[in-house]
Amino acid sequence: MLHLPPVPLSWYLILSAILFTLGVAGFLYRKSVITVFMSIELMLNAVNLSFVSFSYELRRIDGHIYSFFVMVVAAAEAAVGLAIILTVFRNRGTLQIDEIDSMKL
């Protein structure tokens, strides 16, 4: 039986940071609204990961509760966001993010 040492907290945090950065990068550079949307989910889950890691490390329940809240928000966001995307597509026939800019003055 191989006894591995426990994974240190910093590893989790580094992973979380990498995931978050990937999310930010995706948000900024991808052209499709769907991908941008998925990048947001990625950022949320990166944050969730650090919440849970801290919670485990500090033996406190708060982080878990926060992560559940984030999931609930993410689920609600997915419902609303996908509906918006659907409507936008129906009205404009495109999901290219640069073409959806009618809010500017």
Partner 1 sequence: MNFWLIPLFPLIGFLLNGLFGKRLSKSAVNVIGIGSIAVSFVYVVIVLSRLYPLDAARSEHYFTWIQSGFLQVGFDLTVDRLTAVMLLIVTGVGLLIHIYAAGYMEHEGGYYRFFSYFNLFVFFMLLLVLASNLLLMFVGWEGVGLCSYLLVGFYFTEDFAGKAANKAFIVNRIGDFGFSLGIFLIVVTFKTLDFGKIAASVATMPVEAAAGTLTAITLLLFVGATGKSAQLPLYVWLPDAMAAPTPVSALIHAATMVTAGVYMIARVSFLYSHAPLAMQVVAVIGLATAVFAATIGITQNDIKRVFAYSTVSQLGYMFLGVGIGAYSAGIFHLMTHAFFKALLFLGAGSVIHGLGGEQDLRHMGGLRKAMPITFITLGIASLAISGFPGFSGFYSKDAILSAAYTHAPWMFWVGAFTAGMTAFYVFRAYFLAFFGTYRGHQHAHESPLSMTLPLIVLAILAAFGGFLNVPAWLSPLFPLAEHENATAMVISAAFGIGGIVLAVVLYVVRPSLAESLKTRAGSFYTLVLNKYYVDEFYSAAVVKPLESLSRVVLWKGVDKAVIDTSLVNGSGRVVRGWGALLRQLQSGSIRNYATWVLAGSLLVIFVLGLVGDAR
Residues that bind partner 1 (CB under 8 A): 24, 27-28, 36, 97-98, 100-105
- Minimum distance from residue 102 beta carbon to partner 1 (Å): 7
Q: How buried is 10 (Cβ within 10 angstroms: 0-12 exposed, 13-18 middle, 19+ buried)?
A: exposed
- Minimum distance from residue 92 beta carbon to partner 1 (Å): 13
| Neighbouring C-alpha atoms within 13 Å toward the C-beta of 103 | 3
- Minimum distance from residue 97 beta carbon to partner 1 (Å): 6
Nearer to partner 1 (CB atom), residue 40 or residue 49: 40
- Minimum distance from residue 3 beta carbon to partner 1 (Å): 38
Nearer to partner 1 (CB atom), residue 33 or residue 49: 33
Round to whole Å and give the CA distance between 42 and 24: 9
Nearer to partner 1 (CB atom), residue 59 or residue 104: 104
Task: Tell the residue number behind the tokens 């580094």, with chain if given.
Answer: 14
- One DSSP character per residue, 27-54 reads HHH--BHHHHHHHHHHHHHHHHHHHHHH
